[in-house]
Amino acid sequence: MRKIEIYDTTLRDGAQSEDISFSVEDKLRISAKLDELGVHYIEGGWPVSSPRDAEFFYKAKKLKLRNSLMVAFGSTHHAKTKASKDSNIKALLKADTPVITIFGKSWDFHVTHALRISKSANLDLISNSLSYLKKRLSKVFYDAEHFFDGYKANPDYALMTLQAAVDGGADCLVLCDTNGGTLPVEVESIIKAVMNKFKVPIGIHAHNDSECAVANSLIAVEIGASQVQGTINGLGERCGNANLISIIPNLKLKLKYNCITTDNLKKLKSVSRFVTEIANIRHFKRQPYVGDSAFAHKGGIHVSAVLRHSDTYEHISPDVVGNYQRVLVSDLSGKSNIIKKIKEFNLKVDPDSPKVLQIIQQLKDLESQGFQFEGAEASFELLMKKTFKLHRKFFDLIGFRVIVEKKDEGEPPLSEATIMLKIGGKAEHTAATGDGPVNALDNALRKALEKFYPQLKEVRLIDYKVRVLAAGKGTAAKVRVLVESGDNTHKWGTVGVSENIIEASWQALVDSIEYKLLRG
C-alpha cells in the first residue's frame, strides 16, 4: 500500500479565508487537533509576514507533537539580496521547524510582471534559496506557485523552474494550481509530463475556484504524487483550498492508500467541527463524510431499505469517519421513519400501534401548514409523546401581552412582556423586559416558571431563526420560527408556525421549555 503524506495548511492558507482570523492560541489548539488526526505536516504560517506568526512558532516549540512535523512557510529570497542576508530566509530559520517550505514563480508572466526580473534571475532565486536552506536542515519542500497556468503558457520555462528547485536540493516538488482554474484532464496530462522528467517526489496543492480541488488532488495521487496539501473543511482565500476532510477518506477508503490510521480516521468529523468552532463559522450540513446530512435519510422507501441494510443508500459506514446515521421526519416519512424515531427517543411503546399511522398523518398535516421538524426534533419528540399519552402539562397559559414602545427617533425601542400562567392550580403573573419582543416574552416566561422549576435556569437560547413561508404576502405572510436551546449537556431544536411572529415564537419557546422539563 503506497504511503501518501498529508500536508495541512489550514493555519496559513485557511487563515486567509474571508471573515476568519486565528489567534495564536487558536493556532496552537488546531495544531494539537491536527496532530491527533495524524497529518504528516502542519504548515504553521509565514513567520516574516506578521508578529502573530512569529509568536506562534515560538510557542509551538512547546507542543508535544506525536504524529506531525511543524513547517514554516516563506518565499524565495529577494532579488536584490543574497539568501544569507534575506529577512524572509532568516525568519524561516529562526522559526526552528524541522521542515521549511518555500514558494517560487513558475509562470513567466509572474516573473516579468510581478517580480519584474529576468527569467534567468528567477531561476537563480529558486536554486539559491533552496540550496542555502537545505544546508541547514534535512527537509525542504518547494511550492511551484501557478505551476499549471505557467506550464500551459510556457511549458519549457515552467519545467526549468522545477529543475532549478531540484538543483537546489528540494525534497518534494509541490505543483500548485494557485488560481484554481485547472481541470482534472489538464492536471493529469501536466503531472505526467513532470513525472517523465523528474524523479523527485511530487506533491499537489490545489485551489477550488472551479470546484475541482479535491478531484485534482485525487488524480495527482493516482498518477504518482506522494504529498497532498489542503485545509480542513476546504478553508482558504476566494473559493478555498482542497478539502482534506474529503481527500483523506477518499484516499483511505476508496483508493486504499496509506495516509492516516483507521483509528484516526474516526476523528475526522470531530476535527472538522473543532476547526469550524474555532473559526467561529457554521458547520456545513451537507459536507461529504462529516456533515450532519451526510448520512441522513428522509424518504420512507429509503429509510425502510437502509434500516434493513445500510449499503442500500450509504456509500460507507458513517462510523468509520466518526459520523452517524440519522433518520429525518417530514411529510415524506413512512412507518419505518417513525419506528426508527421510537427507538431513538427510547419510547416504551408498541411500534405496531395504530398511533404510528396517526403520527404520520399529523406530520403530513403539520408540514402542509409550514411546520418543519428536521431542525426541530425536540418538537417532534413532544408530538410523539402527546400522541402516545406520555406527555404531561407543566403549566397552562392564561394570557400574555407584549408591548413595543419607541419614545425617541434616536433611541432603540423598549420591549416589555406581561404573562399570566396557571401552575399547579396557582396563578402566576409576571412581567419582564428584553432586547426585543421575543426576548421579553422568553424572559417573562422563565421568570414565571423558574421558582417552580429551578432546572430551567440551565436553559439558554442558542439560536433563533425566522423564515417567511409564503412569498408575495409581505408582512401578512406566515412565518416559521426555529429555536435552538441548550443546557449544560444537551442541545435541542423546536419549531412554531403562525402568521403572527410572536405566536410562532411562543410555540417554539413553550416546546423548548416542556422538552427540558420532561427530560428533567
Residue 163's CATH number: 3.20.20.70
Instruction: Among 346, 365, 384, identify where a domain stops.
Output: 365
- Clarify whether residues 355 and 409 are in a common domain: no
- Clarify whether residues 248 and 311 are in a common domain: no
Sequence-ordered list of residues with C-beta below 8 angstroms from that of 25, at least 6 positions apart, any chain:
none
The answer to whether position 382 is within a domain reads no
HSE-CB of 389 using CA atoms within 13 angstroms: 3
- Clarify whether residues 64 and 155 are in a common domain: yes
Q: What is the domain extent for residue 343?
A: 296-365
Which of 196, 195, 137, 197 lies closest to 171 in space, CA to CA? 137
- Clarify whether residues 150 and 23 are in a common domain: yes
- Clarify whether residues 103 and 235 are in a common domain: yes
The answer to whether position 266 is within a domain reads no
The answer to whether position 93 is within a domain reads yes
- ∠ CA(85), CA(88), CA(93), 5° rounding? 85
The answer to whether position 470 is within a domain reads yes
The answer to whether position 386 is within a domain reads no
- Clarify whether residues 361 and 400 are in a common domain: no
pLDDT of residue 470: 73
Distance, in Å, from the CA atom of 208 to the CA atom of 216, rounded to the nearest integer, reads 9
Q: Say if CB 347 and CB 390 are below 8 A apart.
A: yes
Instruction: Among 240, 260, 280, identify where a domain stops.
Output: 260
The answer to whether position 208 is within a domain reads yes
- Clarify whether residues 505 and 437 are in a common domain: yes
pLDDT tens by residue, the chain, 520 residues: 799 999 999 999 999 999 899 999 999 999 999 999 999 999 999 999 889 999 999 999 999 999 999 999 999 999 999 999 999 999 999 999 999 999 999 999 999 998 999 999 999 999 999 999 999 999 999 999 999 999 999 999 999 999 999 999 999 999 999 999 999 999 999 999 999 999 999 999 999 999 999 999 999 999 999 999 999 999 999 999 999 999 999 999 999 999 999 999 999 999 998 899 888 887 898 999 999 889 888 766 676 776 677 777 789 999 999 998 877 766 656 677 788 888 888 998 898 899 988 988 898 889 889 888 867 889 999 999 999 999 989 999 999 999 999 988 888 899 999 999 999 889 999 999 999 999 999 999 999 999 999 999 999 988 888 888 876 666 668 999 989 898 988 889 899 999 999 999 999 999 999 999 998 7
Neighbours of 409 (CB within 10 A): 5
β 326-327/296-297 pair status? parallel
- ∠ CA(462), CA(466), CA(471), 5° rounding? 165
Which of 352, 423, 353 lies closest to 387 in space, CA to CA? 353
- Clarify whether residues 243 and 308 are in a common domain: no
Neighbours of 344 (CB within 10 A): 12
The answer to whether position 377 is within a domain reads no
Which of 433, 428, 430, 429 lies closest to 403 in space, CA to CA? 433
Instruction: Among 365, 383, 404, identify where a domain stops.
Output: 365
- Clarify whether residues 95 and 188 are in a common domain: yes
pLDDT of residue 114: 87
DSSP 477: S
Neighbours of 339 (CB within 10 A): 17
The answer to whether position 31 is within a domain reads yes
CATH number of the domain residue 503 falls in: 3.30.160.270
- Clarify whether residues 103 and 239 are in a common domain: yes
Only one residue has cell 392550580, namely 425
pLDDT of residue 301: 65
Distance, in Å, from the CA atom of 118 to the CA atom of 324, rounded to the nearest integer, reads 56
Which of 50, 114, 106 lies closest to 79 in space, CA to CA? 114
- Clarify whether residues 103 and 249 are in a common domain: yes
Strand partners for 430: 419
pLDDT of residue 360: 86
> Could you give the number of structural domains in the chain?
3
Q: pTM value?
A: 0.74
- Clarify whether residues 193 and 333 are in a common domain: no
